[in-house]
A = this chain, B = another copy of it.
Amino acid sequence: MNAAVRAVVRTGLYHGLEVFGVMRGYSGMVEDDIFQMESRSVANIIQRGGTILKTARCKEFFEYEGRKKAYDNLKKRGINGLVVIGGDGSFNGALKFSKEFDIPCIGLPGTIDKDIAGTDFTIGFDTAVNTAVEAIDKIRDTADAHDRLFIIEVMGRDAGYIALHSGIATGAEHILIPEKKTDIDDVVNSLAEKEKRRKLVNLIVVAEGDEFGGAEEVAKHVKAKLPNVDTRVCILGHIQRGGSPTCLDRLIASRMGYHAVESLLINRHNVMVGIQNNKMHYTQLEYAVKAKQKINEEWMKIVKILAS
């Protein structure tokens, strides 16, 4: 996200605007934790994980009083436009705020789950999925040396993209995602059959939001039916949220940040800046909600064939 912050700041300054940073999301707006930013404020941050502006949930912003306080804090500095990086929760807040106080908002899609309608890329997804792949590669070394079955849980409460991409990229035998019902008996039978053929490295990648409730639950099913298989569970967890961003994430964040400011300048208000088919694509914030993505059936077929 730092790359997006940097792009917003420098594009704003280039156009002669004053640019302010708000700490910890809406909390900083409500609590007046706001500071003026110069070009130097964003020097040497493009390669860093996390975000220099920090992040937090803010209950007060759900209430009118909280939003009024936030508005007053912006107003007294003459701030008349807002760029919000986040997911659909943040966008809903922005939309409400914008309507009540006539401050135009621009949204940038910043979620590692990639499940936002109106954009092919979200900031952080490529980094998260590469971190998952590197971790699974390491686990595969052990899986291979020990002839073990590893059931690996990756992030994704409502979306299976991290599981799908990291699973294909590491040659997982099965990928369990929320978007698709899994017949656990099929999975177990296929494992049993592979065990007979002594096909030895077995990886199952599970999104945390899968219908079975994560890797531990899947492992219970497998162990119940295949007690002889040496089965281990790994939950990758928060390592997926940090780390130096990939080139792609830095590029799309820079590009989106640039266009966020450009949008404010031409009065293209209350949109999310996305990228579709390599072109900038603008979605009204009310539609930029968590998307019901359809997982491409072809991918599931490729998983099956390539892992054979």
Per-residue CB contact flags for chain A residues 51-92 toward chain B (1 = under 8 Å, else 0) read 100111000000000000000000000000000000000000
Give complex CA distance A238, B46 in Å.
20
Whether, in the assembled complex, A170 has its beta carbon less than 8 Å from a beta carbon of chain B, the answer is yes
A10 and B305 within 8 A (CB): yes
> Which among B46, B169, B243 is the interface contact of A138 at CB below 8 angstroms?
B243
Which residues in chain A, 224-272, are within 8 Å of chain B measured between CB atoms? 232, 234-244, 246-248, 250-251, 254-255, 258
Docked-complex contact B14 and A242, CB < 8 angstroms: no
Bound Cα distance from A301 to B54, whole angstroms: 29
How many residues of A are in contact with the other chain, CB < 8 A?
75
List residues of chain B with CB within 8 A of the CB of A144: 44, 50, 54
Q: A141-B243, A146-B56 are in contact. Are A11 and B278 (CB under 8 A)?
A: no
Given contacts A120-B278, A130-B247, A246-B130, contact A241 B141 (CB under 8 A): yes
From the candidates B10, B46, B169, B277, name the one contacting A46 in the complex (CB within 8 A): B169
A242 near B140 with CB under 8 A, answer yes
Tell me, in angstroms, the Cα distance from A99 to B205 when the chains sit together: 45
The yes or no answer to A139 lying at the interface (CB within 8 A) is: yes
The answer to whether B235 and A237 touch across the interface, beta carbons within 8 angstroms, is yes
Q: Could you say which of A141, A150, A244, A250 has the most chain B C-beta atoms within 10 Å of its C-beta? A: A141
Q: Flag whether A179 is at the interface (Cβ < 8 A).
A: no
Contacts of A218 in B (CB 8 A): none
Chain B residues within an 8 Å CB radius of A251: 165, 168-169
Binary contact track A113-140/B, C-beta < 8 Å → 1, others 0: 0000000100000100111111101111
CA distance A134 to B47 in the complex (A): 9
Q: Residue A156 at the B interface, CB < 8 A?
A: no
Is A145 touching B302 in the complex (CB atoms < 8 A)? no
Q: How far is the CA of A14 from the CA of B304 in the complex (A)?
A: 10
Answer whether residue A171 sits at the interface, using C-beta atoms and an 8 A cutoff: yes
Given the known interface contacts A126-B247, A168-B251, the answer about A140 and B44 at a Cβ–Cβ threshold of 8 Å is yes
| A230 CB to nearest chain B CB (Å) | 9
The 6 closest A-B pairs by CB, nearest first: A141-B242, A138-B242, A50-B141, A49-B141, A277-B277, A169-B250
A sample of 5 more A-B contacts (CB under 8 A), given A7-B302, A49-B138, A137-B244, is A50-B144, A130-B247, A139-B239, A141-B242, A255-B302
- Can you list 23 contacts pairing A with B, beta carbon distance less than 8 Å? A6-B306, A39-B308, A44-B201, A46-B171, A47-B170, A49-B141, A50-B142, A55-B146, A132-B247, A133-B246, A137-B243, A138-B238, A138-B239, A138-B242, A141-B242, A165-B247, A166-B247, A168-B250, A168-B251, A168-B254, A169-B250, A235-B237, A277-B278
